[in-house]
Amino acid sequence: MVEEVNNDLTSFDALKVGDVVSGKVTKVEEKHALVDVGYKVDGILPISELSSLHVEKVTDLLNEGDEVTVKVTKLVDDELVLSKREVDADKAWGDLEQKFADKTTFSVEIADVVKGGLVVDLGVRGFIPASLVERHFVEDFSDYKGKPLDVKIVELDREKRKVILSHRAVLDEQADLKKKEETLNKIKAGDVIEGTVQRLTDFGAFVDIGGVDGLVHISQLAHHRVETPSEVVSEEGDVVKVKVLSVDRDNERISLSIKATQPGPWESARDKIHPGDVLEGTVKRLVPFGAFVELLPGVEGLVHISEISHSHIGTPNEVLSEGEEIKVKVLDVNFDDKRVSLSIKAIEEPKQKPAAQEPEPLQEDTTSGFSLGDMIGDQLKKI
């Protein structure tokens, strides 16, 4: 942070190293300038402390009578050394750090062409490497001196006084915006296109479909239930086929689907499920009228309560539990309506009831002296 300029020095002792003061240039020499800052002697401003860039002559930047703001870097008896470069740098760093954080595009003037790139004066030395000047190869940069360029800060290190700029980053951003605009104008719901996975989130995957990212919600990743996007999309950079579900050009929002480009589970099931088949499945849901059993990912069939057991049951959970692996027999399939009728009892033998015992024949009572015929006869006589 720049220190407040000390313009109210009441004594020579009030001036100390680190103070930032204003003064007037009283003399300009080849390698330095003299500046009156209200001290008992004029301060020396060396040519090396004029600017962050190389300066050939002091007169390239200063003239007698100019007002300058400088920092005291040395103060010993009658020797006062000043720096304009440090004041400019202190002012510049805060602004540069903000521009870097905000990814701001700003204009600079090329101060010099050096081996490997271009140099600019930002209050500190800024450097544009040759590879970051244009999107194409440039053999000779001599025409760039004095030319304004829009740049972004791509690397910043205050401790090392390092500022790396890029004009190419601005050009890339402009190209991306143009590509994005073209994509938004031409894309429409129903289009099936390829895209590149940019990033994965808990709720889905963002896919670049031509300069603009669209969202594949987790519910649109696959026909079966997906817990995390990485189950379907392995990593960022994957190329995937997607279908455009909707386009909101004003808000630049595009909804995409991966599962809409793939055969549905019921289509795949046509060759795998037939009436009469005995299959293994997982009980997914129990309802009052039966149990839904998953036969294939995304394909469920119903075991009606009457087909669960040969014995009478009041509710399915008397016999079954969710998550249980069971065998079922396919009774009927309707792929158009996505319905499969299943049975458990059809593959189970009914439990045999114990045979009823025949009543023993009546035996005549010989001990009483009467036979059965006698007893019946006596009753008939009484009628």
Domain boundary pick from 236, 261, 286: 261
Say if residue 144 is in the same domain as residue 158. yes
Say if residue 212 is in the same domain as residue 278. no
Considering the domain boundaries, does residue 383 fall inside one? no
Report the C-alpha gap between 265 and 282 in whole angstroms: 16
Say if residue 274 is in the same domain as residue 226. no
Considering the domain boundaries, does residue 1 fall inside one? no
Considering the domain boundaries, does residue 123 fall inside one? yes
Considering the domain boundaries, does residue 379 fall inside one? no
Q: Which amino acid is located at 179 in the chain?
A: K
Q: How many helices (H) and strands (E) does the chain have?
A: 4, 20
Question: Which tens digits make up the pLDDT trace of 82-95?
Answer: 999 888 888 889 89
Q: Which domain holds residue 240?
A: 188-261
What was the pLDDT predicted at 234? 78
Considering the domain boundaries, does residue 353 fall inside one? no
Mean pLDDT, the chain, whole residue set: 86
Say if residue 168 is in the same domain as residue 201. no
pTM over 0.75: no
Say if residue 163 is in the same domain as residue 203. no
| DSSP per-residue codes, 335-346 | TTTTEEEEESGG
Burial class of 124 by CB neighbour count within 10 A (0 to 12, 13 to 18, 19+):
buried
H or E stretch at 186: helix 168-186
Q: How many domains does the chain have?
A: 4
Question: Which tens digits make up the pLDDT trace of 145-168?
Answer: 999 999 999 999 988 889 999 999
Say if residue 167 is in the same domain as residue 219. no
Question: Which tens digits make up the pLDDT trace of 358-383?
Answer: 555 555 444 444 444 454 445 444 44
- Of 283, 348, 345, the closest CA to residue 317 belongs to 283
Considering the domain boundaries, does residue 236 fall inside one? yes
Question: Which tens digits make up the pLDDT trace of 252-301?
Answer: 899 999 999 988 888 888 889 999 999 999 999 999 999 999 998 889 99
Q: What percentage of the chain has pLDDT greater than the value 90?
A: 61
In the DSSP assignment, the letter for residue 153 is E
Say if residue 116 is in the same domain as residue 157. yes
Burial class of 129 by CB neighbour count within 10 A (0 to 12, 13 to 18, 19+):
middle
Say if residue 256 is in the same domain as residue 280. no
Considering the domain boundaries, does residue 301 fall inside one? yes
- CATH number, domain at 336? 2.40.50.140
Q: What residue has token string 């455009």?
A: 244
Buried (b) or exposed (e) across 33-65, using 16+ Cβ within 10 A? bbbebbbeebbbbbbebbbbbebeebeebbeee
Report the C-alpha gap between 176 and 154 in whole angstroms: 17
Say if residue 249 is in the same domain as residue 272. no
List residues bridging with 118 in a β-sheet. 113, 128
pLDDT confidence band for 357 (50 / 70 / 90): low
Domain boundary pick from 23, 52, 87: 87
Considering the domain boundaries, does residue 361 fall inside one? no
Say if residue 195 is in the same domain as residue 256. yes
Say if residue 254 is in the same domain as residue 270. no
Q: Which amino acid is located at 37 in the chain?
A: V
Question: Which tens digits make up the pLDDT trace of 3-56?
Answer: 555 554 444 557 889 899 999 999 998 899 999 998 889 999 999 888 878 878
CB atoms within 10 A of CB 205: 28
